[in-house]
Structure formats: structure tokens, C-alpha cells
Chain A
Amino acid sequence: EPEVTQTPSHQVTQMGQEVILRCVPISNHLYFYWYRQILGQKVEFLVSFYNNEISEKSEIFDDQFSVERPDGSNFTLKIRSTKLEDSAMYFCASSEVVQTQYFGPGTRLLVL
């Protein structure tokens, strides 16, 4: 069964460093999303992406964040200069049309 994959599963970085989180959505899906979950809190929407552009972003998704679909299969989330409060589980999701979203296993990011 097709699934969304994410790499790495865990990432530890120093404050101020750049990180790139990678996702491979399900191949025929057209809509892509990033969510994050700070430990002990609810899942929060970051950004949605369709037709090679951002379709919606949250207040959390400030200038430090960017997304890209560089090669038609990968979907990446870049955090330019990480802060302590960026420590969270980051989930990628994809959907074929605007309906059920399929989530990846997540990347646990720890900023020291």
C-alpha cells in the first residue's frame, strides 16, 4: 500500500542552524501539507502546497520557514535558523484531492 515517507526520523541540531526535513508524498497525490506537534500539545497546521506554490500558511510559518518540491517527488520543509521552540514532531501529509490526508511517520526535531 502506498505511504508517505519522511526522513530523517530524528534530527538533533544546534540553535541557529538550518535544517531540511524531507518527505516523499504518495505518488499520484497533488496536495501536500506540513504540520507540527510540540511535545504534549495538539497538532498544528503549518502550510499547504498545491501546483508548485503555497496555497495557505499559518502564523507559525514565518520567514524562517520555506517549502519546496524540488524534483516532482520530494517535498521539503526548511527552517533557516532554528530556535529552541522549533523542537517538535513535524508531519508531512498528502492527499489526492481535497479529502482524506495521509500522514507520514514524522520527523522528531530537537533544537539544542
Chain B
Amino acid sequence: KNEVEQSPQNLTAQEGEFITINCSYSVGISALHWLQQHPGGGIVSLFMLSSGKKKHGRLIATINIQEKHSSLHITASHPRDSAVYICAVSQDTDKLIFGTGTRLQVFP
């Protein structure tokens, strides 16, 4: 059983749409991370959060510790947002446990 599950696996949107990607985890965590993987493979950290909500530009990440659930929202989506979005968690140590990712395609 995967410790970190994401949904949906694939997501297609029209430019301007509001997008939500969900992440559920089954283990105790110290922090949850959202990362973006570009088509070429590079990985960029977007957020690290342990409670509440964080916002950076058009991206918003929320976490509900009691429900072991996090969401990543993208407002006013744009074709350049097309990427794989990955949820990962860290527990007592700093190693990251990754989800399988959500492939997002935004069309003009």
C-alpha cells in the first residue's frame, strides 16, 4: 500500500480554469511537500507545510492534519503550469516519501 496517494493521476484543463490536486497520506508526518516536475525531469520544491495554508503567486497549498489530506490549488491556470505535481511527506527524518504524481496539462 502506498503511503502517499494522489488524485487524479491525470488532469486536463483549459487555460484559466481553477485546478485542484489532492494528496492523502497514511502515516504520521512532520511535514508535507508539494513539488513540480518539468517535462525534462527537473524537480522544483513548491511548498513545505505542516499546518494550515500557504500561498505563492497563483498556487495555494492546504493541509488538514486530522484528515491526513492536502490539496494544491492553481488559480487562473496557464499552459506553462503543465507539469507533474508531486506530493511527498517527511516523517521523523528528512527523507521524502513521494506520491506517484499528478500529470497536469493545460490547453490554451
Contacts and interface: CB of A to CB of B under 8 A. Distances in A.
B20 interface: no
A18 interface: no
B96 A103 contact: no
B42 A33 contact: no
B4 to A, nearest CB: 8
B62 to A, nearest CB: 18
Nearest to B31: A99
Nearest to A41: B100
A96 to B, nearest CB: 11
7 smallest A-B Cβ distances: which pairs?
A: A103-B43, A43-B98, A45-B95, A98-B94, A42-B100, A42-B98, A105-B42
B6 to A, nearest CB: 10
A43 B43 contact: yes
Contacts of B97: 45
A102 B48 CA distance: 12
A100 B88 CA distance: 11
A108 B42 CA distance: 11
A65 to B, nearest CB: 15
Contacts, number: 56
Interface residues of B, number: 21
A31 B94 contact: yes
A75 interface: no
Interface size band for A:
20 to 34
* Interface-central residue, A45, A102, A106, by most chain B CB under 10 Å: A45
Contacts of A44: 98
Contact of A100 (B45, B86, B93, B98): B45
B96 A42 contact: no
B93 A106 contact: no
Interface in A44-60: 44-45, 48, 55-56, 58
Given A101-B45, A103-B43, 17 more contacts: A33-B95, A35-B96, A42-B98, A42-B101, A43-B88, A43-B98, A44-B98, A45-B97, A48-B93, A89-B41, A91-B43, A99-B48, A101-B33, A102-B45, A103-B42, A105-B40, A106-B42
